Amino acid sequence: MKNLIKRFLALALVACTCVALSSCAFLDGLLNPPNDDDGYSRPSSEIAFEVRNENVPVFSQEELTAEPYEYYSDLDSLGRCGVVKGTLGVETMPALDEKRGSISSVKPSGWVQAKYDTSIVQGGYLWNRSHLIGWQLSAENANKRNLITGTRYFNVEGMLPFENMVADHIREKGCHVAYKVTPDFKGENLVCHGVTMEAYCIECQGNLQFNVYCFNIQPGIEINYATGESRLAS
């Protein structure tokens, strides 16, 4: 019972934070519209994610299956990833003692690596090969249909907390979670502006669900989403 209450409070906290953050993002967007004149966008906000559709994910009846599966779109003509989805469970996750494989052979679209001072980018390198469905959920290593060019901030502050939430839930309860990640490539840009992450637990129904948009930004850095080039914000 105590655990249930703790979980509820944790989720309520996430929901409240989400609402608070999304209104900040809205204000920030008004005050600091992206500057696209020379192809570069300065971060329109410094928030990692915002809630979409009142946090309610959108899945078809077909996608709400308890039968584990994974689907990865083929790359498009520009070499970009598309929607990836699945029903995740212990069946799709790595064993607890399984080691992550190398993914450095994959060059996602827009991969123009850049190094900055570690006071600006944790670890120094701007770009991470970002899993659309995280390794801890899919055990997918060098799958080029599952890796995009994403900032360190996007990877760690945007996507990871939601991946952890789903992984913890599955490990604790043995549930199956419908899951979908949709990268948001504008026009012919090689780097996406963000991804939409949606999840819905089949067994618990609404007790674990979210619909969030994680921004592919790095505070202090301007990004050219067409090419993947970057520079210090002026």
Candidates 4-12, 179-187, 203-211, 213-221; binding stretch for Zn ion (CB under 5 A): 203-211
Distance, in Å, from the CA atom of 158 to the CA atom of 136, rounded to the nearest integer, reads 16
Return the number of the residue (190 or 201) whose C-beta is nearest Zn ion: 201
Whether the Cβ atoms of residue 214 and residue 152 lie closer than 8 Å to each other: no
Residue 191 contacts Zn ion per CB under 5 A: no
Bridge-partner residues for 198, per DSSP? 180, 211
Min dist. Cβ of residue 173 to Zn ion (A): 5
Which of positions 116-135 make contact with Zn ion (CB under 5 A)?
A: none
Q: How far is the CB of 105 from Zn ion (least distance, A)?
A: 35
For Zn ion, which is the closer residue by CB, 55 or 122? 55
Tell me the closest approach of the beta carbon of residue 207 to Zn ion, in angstroms.
Answer: 6
Q: Which stretch binds Zn ion (CB under 5 A): 3-11, 81-89, 186-194, 198-206?
A: 198-206
Residue 133 token pair: 């469905």
Query: Dihedral of the CA atoms 185, 186, 191, 195 (nearest 10)?
Result: -40
Chain residues 50-69 in contact with Zn ion, contact rule CB under 5 A = none
Measured CA to CA, the distance from residue 141 to residue 134 in angstroms comes to 9
User: Which is nearer to Zn ion, 114 or 204 (by Cβ)?
Assistant: 204
Q: Smaller CB distance to Zn ion: residue 87 or 196?
A: 87
What's the rounded Cα separation, in Å, for the pair 232 and 190?
20
DSSP three-state, residue 21: helix
Shortest distance, position 205 Cβ to Zn ion, whole Å? 8
Measure the CA–CA gap between 148 and 182, rounded to whole angstroms: 11
Q: Which is nearer to Zn ion, 8 or 26 (CB)?
A: 8
CA 12 to chain CA mean position, Å: 21
Alpha-helical (H) ranges within the chain are 2-31, 135-138, 152-153, 160-173
Q: Is 175 in the site for Zn ion (CB under 5 A)?
A: yes
201 near Zn ion, rule: CB under 5 A: yes
Measure the CA–CA gap between 169 and 63, rounded to whole angstroms. 19
Using rule CB under 5 A, residue 203 touches Zn ion: yes
Region for residue 67 given its phi and psi (left: phi exceeds 0; alpha: psi -120 to 50; beta: otherwise): beta
Stretch that binds Zn ion, among 22-30, 70-78, 99-107, 194-202 (CB under 5 A): 194-202
Span interacting with Zn ion, options 35-43, 52-60, 101-109, 166-174, rule CB under 5 A:
166-174
Interface residues with Zn ion (CB under 5 A) are 173, 175, 201, 203-204
